[in-house]
Structure 1
Amino acid sequence: MVNHRRPVLGRVLTSAAIGLVLAATGSGLAQAGESPAPAVSQQRAVCPPTPLWANTGGATRTLIQYDDAGNPISTAPLIRDYGDIAFSPNGSTLYGINFPDTATLYTIDPVTGAETSSTPITGPLAGVTAINGLTARADGMLIVGSFATSQIFLLDPATGVSTPFPASFPAGIVSAGDFITLDDGDILAFGSPDTTSPSPVFRIRPDNTVVQIGTVPQTFGAAKSAGQVYAFASNGDINQLNSLPTTASTAALPVTTIKATGEGFYGATSTQDAGTCVAPAYTIAKKATPAGTAKEGDTITYTVTVKNTGTTAAAGNFSDDLSDVLDDATLVAGSVTSTSGTATVTDDTLNWTGTLAPGATATVTYQVQVNTPDNGDRLLTNVAVPTAPGGTCATTRGCTTTIEVDENCDKPDHGGYGDDGYGDNGYGDGKSKTPWRKPTTLTP
């Protein structure tokens, strides 16, 4: 796979240019080898898992949502190449910054991939090309890096005004593609010495000292879930960083490749990259009509409602096992519908996949007809199970329906009334044919 994301540097950079420990201030960098001041970090609570989002570029520009095992949850087409993407601290807004031309900040609908706004960038970042790093801080400002300069920038997404960040990469190192606020308060920064070498990884301390802690395979994006950092490599691998040392080192960091996707990643993000604890949340509610009981030949309509109850776009995926329904009934052809997303039935399982904006709902319906005769167990029971992070049932039994198929009351040995309006007087012998009449109340 040819990756067109990175321009060729005009000079050869070597690892000798990498300082292990560099104190960075607004006035410049201190000499390599100086001891950094003690970090002032505060450990934070570990967040629940959240999806990882990545964007690809070139011929197939796509926004992809992954779970933390690297399995795709949803995809949406994108209209341009973005050097990186980033969620706002509360997860309500997805930003993208164009690549490789002069910078413009866009907001992107994570459900459809469409651009919803654009903001021209002013200040020192305005003339910088090849921007490839974008991450929100907890205060809402964006941290920005470029493949063309060692300087790191801050960007106000509301105004487009940029300013220099009070720390930068060491001389000869540029941004590889991302920044992550760690649970201990440090900012993890991925650098690049050239177009092919592994990416040096740095910690930026709260006092703005910069410490290299190791290297990882060449990385173009990163995202955090439940305190764990995932690096999206130039070869399409999603690598989990197994440790994040606090001391200076140029050694390779241990990683686990959770998925070899083959995708041409340009950037990555999650709703927790800013150090906030935003996680997706959605509910499932299921009902059947008629409820409770049915007769042979009846048509039963099932309705599953999925609602995004969180503050960020979320996949509301669910699976519905129909095996204990289809032993008594037959799926009505063409009855499976959904107001959004995609519903499919494979063998005895219905699956729905779709991404919802905060507060949005999707409704999935399908119908079955009870067999005549019903030779199954005469119980139609099924459960809709959330299959994406953050999914729960709306109520304790809100994902489950159970319908009992009544015995056929038209049989001659069953008490009640036949189709001809005559009964057997409740004796069950099927012989008495006295027309039924309403009982008369006698007055003494």
Structure 2
Amino acid sequence: MACYGQNSLRRVLTGAAIGLVLAVTGTVGPAHAQTGTASAGVAASKARAVCPPTPLWANTGGNDRRLVQYDTTGNPLSNVPLARDYGDIAFSPNGSTLYGVDFPGSPGATTLYTIDPVTGAETASRPISGPLAAVTSTPAVNGLTARADGTLIAGSFNTSQIFLIDPATGVSTLFPASFPAGIVSAGDFITLDDGDVLAFGAADTTSPSPVFRIHPDNTVVQIGTVPQTFGAAKSAGSVYAFASNGDINLLTSLPTTASTSPLPVTTVEATGRGFFGATSTQDSGSCVVPAYTVAKSASPTGPVNEGNTITYRLTVTNTGTVAANGDFTDDLSDVLDDATFVPGSLTSTSGSANLTGDTLSWTGTLAPGGTATVTYQVRVDTPDTGDHTLVNYVAPTAPGGSCSSARTCSVTIHVKKKHDHKDCDKPGHGHKPGHGGKHDHDHDHDEAHEGEGGKAA
């Protein structure tokens, strides 16, 4: 959701009385009661199983246009630049495509973009046509979310009407529900696990955002208010609202009864950023989660000698359909008791790799099918005063991570121990046939001394 203060947004709304229940038709204008079978606007749906946690994505705008990925505690996982101000962003139901819509858009037209979540670059664009493009004075699209069928729900700051967009054609149509009179979109829609669509509204430029449930029969019920919100995202059944002041707020309760009271929220992070929108791969009601694997190898595989250099290679691969944060750590505590990390040997084809104490960590975002490789070297100590065994483990630390196989997250390398008797390899001191080893050697040595004694006598 973009800044309300732009001159192009001349329609400043005042706090009008909010209708708590509104049934609507498929046209703009007064709504009429509707009962029975749900229309095409929101398909009747069953309660959904709670998904595992997934990252939250948000777009900022103005002087700092960024695409930022957060975990559900508010820690940033990735941060890349964006090409323009987007009124909102939205993942497709399978998480493979990230959409964005320009804000506020040109009079009579606006554009739907696809965005690479790893780099933030625009990969395609399509003009939006139909009634959304005709909104005056500008389309001002500030709400965008995919439905389970792949169409996009869109809202505008300049009208109470809600729209649908076919992402394949860019054609918009009227959604068979709208906000109450005097309320426009604040910036997002979320399909809840019970099948309702959560919609965030705006009465003016400063007031808290009224929050509505849109039922499968297309009735609209306000359930409360939250701090002014410009975007929202869902993870593991919970909804996170991205506030105008940069706070990420967890909505701790989503009642089903009508209310205008503040909803309870917990601020998980005060980022200070200028949020314009937010999304996750679960906003459409789909249970899409990241998936990636890590694998580890070493060369040589051992046994090695003191002074040898060992090269380790770690590979992280996105095996899912969504952009994944493939974090992992590599525990070197049982390596560095026998060896020394080679300075300057740590490299990574993408992302960020760091060694802190005995722990190597990597963080980065990978597109579906994408791979990153991390390499580093250690040199076995001379002398090796450790246990002569180098063992280390790599562990995925982000949602959806696993080892590529049961044996690929650990490597064990043995160090050869030097023989206790340094002269055993010298000529004439091997265990040759007919010799008894140390006993015979001592016997010959005594005889030699006896012979020398005789000469001296």
- Is the TM-score greater than 0.5? yes
Gaps of 5+ in 1: 434-444
- The one of 105, 114, 134 aligned to 1:101: 105
Letter paired with 2:207: S
Give, in angstroms, the shift of residue 11 of structure 1: 5.7
1: distance between equivalents of 2:364 and 2:229? 29
Q: Determine what percentage of the aligned residue pairs are the same residue.
A: 71
In terms of mean alpha carbon deviation, does 195-204 or 34-43 score higher?
Answer: 34-43
Separation of aligned partners in 2, 1:307 and 1:270: 21
Does the Cα contact within 8 Å between 1:67 and 1:389 map onto a contact in 2?
no
Counterpart for residue 21 of structure 2: 21
How many Å separate the matches in 2 of 1:421 and 1:131? 91
CA distance in 2, matches of 1:420, 1:134: 83
Corresponding residue for 1:63? 67
Does 1:400 pair with 2:407?
no
Counterpart in 2 of 1:441? none
**TM-fit CA distance, 1:64:** 0.8
**Which deviations, in whole Å up to 9, do the C-alpha atoms of 1:175-221 show, x marking residues without a partner?**
00000011111110000011111100000111111000000111111
Q: Distance in 1 between matches of 2:437 and 2:161?
A: 91
Asked whether 1:356 is paired with 2:360, we answer no
3-state SS of paired residue (1:149)? coil
- The 1:307/1:12 distance shift into structure 2, 3 A limit, reads closer
1:412 CA drift (Å): 1.7
Cα distance change on mapping 1:427 and 1:122 into 2, 3 Å:
farther
Contact 1:17/1:170 (<8 A) preserved: no
- 2:421 matches 1:412: yes
- Contact 1:423 1:432 (8 Å CA) reproduced: no
**Greater Cα offset, 424-433 or 117-126:** 424-433
Q: 2 CA distance for matches of 1:428 and 1:391?
A: 57
Q: Is the 8 A contact 2:16 2:182 kept in 1?
A: no
Q: Structure 2 vs 1, CA of residues 420 and 86 (structure 1 numbering), >3 Å: closer, same or farther?
A: farther
Match of 1:265 among 269, 275, 279: 275
2:193 aligned partner, one-letter code:
D
Q: C-alpha deviations, 1:322-357, integer Å up to 9, x for none?
A: 222112111112211112222122222211111111
Please tell me whether residue 378 in structure 1 is matched to residue 388 in structure 2. yes
* C-alpha distance in 2 between matches for 1:62 and 1:428: 76
What are the equivalent positions in structure 2 for 1:33-432 lying under 5 Å apart? Answer: 41-102=45-106, 103-128=110-135, 129-409=139-419, 411-412=420-421, 418=425, 423-424=430-431, 429=438
Change (3 A) 1:210 1:387: same
Instruction: Identify the residue that residue 437 of structure 1 maps to in structure 2.
Output: none
Q: Do the aligned residues in 1 keep the contact of 2:16 with 2:203 (CA within 8 Å)?
A: no
Aligned-residue offset at 1:161:
0.5
RMSD: 2.5
Larger radius of gyration: 2
**1: CA distance between counterparts of 2:228 and 2:428?**
81
Please tell me whether the aligned partners of residues 318 and 385 of structure 1 are also in contact (alpha carbons under 8 angstroms): yes
| Contact 1:413/1:428 (8 A) holds in 2 | no
Give aligned pairs, total.
426
Shift of 1:431: 9.1
Instruction: Give the drift of 1:6.
Output: 4.8
Matches of 2:318 and 2:74 in 1, distance apart? 22
Gaps of 5+ in 2: 39-43, 443-457
Query: How big is the shift at 1:15?
Result: 3.9
Shift of 1:36: 8.2
Is the partner of 2:376 in helix, strand or coil?
Answer: strand
Please say if residues 34 and 217 of structure 2, whose CA atoms lie closer than 8 Å, have aligned partners that are also in contact. Answer: no
1:182–1:420: structure 2 CA closer, same or farther, 3 Å change rule? farther
What is the one-letter code of the residue matched to 1:222? Answer: A
1:245–1:407 distance in 2 versus 1, CA, 3 Å: same
Asked if the contact 1:74/1:355 (under 8 Å) is kept, the reply is yes
1:436 is matched with: none
In structure 2, relative to structure 1, the CA distance for the partners of 1:375 and 1:19 (3 Å cut) is: same
- CA distance in structure 1 between the aligned counterparts of 2:288 and 2:406, rounded to whole angstroms: 24
> Is the contact between residue 44 and residue 184 of structure 1 (CA under 8 Å) also seen in structure 2?
yes
Structure 2 letter corresponding to 1:122 = S
Q: CA shift at 1:80, angstroms? A: 0.8
Amino acid aligned to 2:124: S
The code of the aligned residue for 1:117 comes to A
For the 8 Å contact 1:424–1:430, the answer to whether it is kept is no
In 2, the alpha carbon distance for the partners of 1:167 and 1:407 equals 77
Whole-Å separation in 2 of the counterparts to 1:333 and 1:235: 44
1:240 is displaced (CA, Å) by 0.6
Q: Give the alignment's TM-score, normalised by structure 2.
A: 0.88
Using structure 1 for the length normalisation, give the TM-score: 0.90
Distance 1:10 1:284 in 2: 53
283-292 or 221-230: which moved more? Answer: 283-292
Measure the CA separation in 2 of the matches of 1:139 and 1:421: 85
Structure 2 CA distance for partners of 1:16 and 1:382, relative to 1, 3 Å: same
Cα gap change, 1:418 to 1:112, in 2 (>3 Å): farther
Q: Secondary structure at the match of 1:294?
A: coil
When residues 432 and 260 of structure 1 are mapped into structure 2, their CA distance, relative to the original with a 3 A threshold, is farther
The alpha-carbon deviation at position 24 of structure 1 amounts to 1.8
Task: State how far apart, in whole Å, the 2-side matches of 1:431 and 1:343 are.
Answer: 59
Q: Output the amino acid matched with 2:381.
A: N
Structure 1 residue 310, shift from structure 2 partner: 0.4
